[in-house]
Amino acid sequence: MTAIDVQLKGTTLRMLSSAAPAAEVMARLDTRLSAPLYRLVAHHASTEARIIARQADHCPVLAATPLLGTLRLAKTVVPGLGSYGLDNLLGYYGIPKPAGRHRASPDVEVTTQVLARLLAEGSAGGRWRTLLELDAAAALQPKRPATDPEAEQRALF
């Protein structure tokens, strides 16, 4: 937890003290993923990929799921925008900033709205017609969890 977490998200250590452990939450989420083909959508997908990779033992289905980044999509659909932060994209598309911005639910809601605009605009512009083409434009493959090089070496022999 950093001061920025408290400032932007309003999350405090007190709030976290009563929360379920990350491993439990990720395992519960993983049980809900029962009918692939999935794409996890996030604005800054590389951040989510790192978090998921650290929890891969608890969420193997999710950890093997490609991510689709609205930031990457925006760079393809709206080149030269300058800043591709979520707030800037909200402004560009005229989407009002929600109350509680930087909290999970409001950010999911506006990211979904941005995604819908980007998908429509990119499709209309002939940038993609299929999921494969969309993946080529903006997908991030799952990150492998960091391994202990010594343990990996020992396992090989």
User: Per-residue pLDDT tens for 88-114?
Assistant: 999 999 999 998 887 778 999 999 999
Query: What's the domain count of the chain?
Result: 1
pLDDT at 34: 84
Structural domain contains residue 156:
no
Structural domain contains residue 157:
no
Q: Is pLDDT above 90 for 126? A: yes
Structural domain contains residue 150:
no
The domain in which residue 110 lies consists of 3-145
48-89 pLDDT tens trace:
898 899 899 999 999 999 999 999 999 999 999 999 999 999
Structural domain contains residue 94:
yes
Structural domain contains residue 43:
yes
pTM of the complete model: 0.78
**Domain CATH number, residue 117:** 3.30.420
Structural domain contains residue 152:
no
Structural domain contains residue 134:
yes
pLDDT at 112: 96
Alpha helix stretches (DSSP H) within the chain = 3-4, 13-17, 22-31, 45-54, 60-63, 70-77, 86-93, 104-124, 131-138, 149-156
Q: Is pLDDT above 60 for 128? A: yes
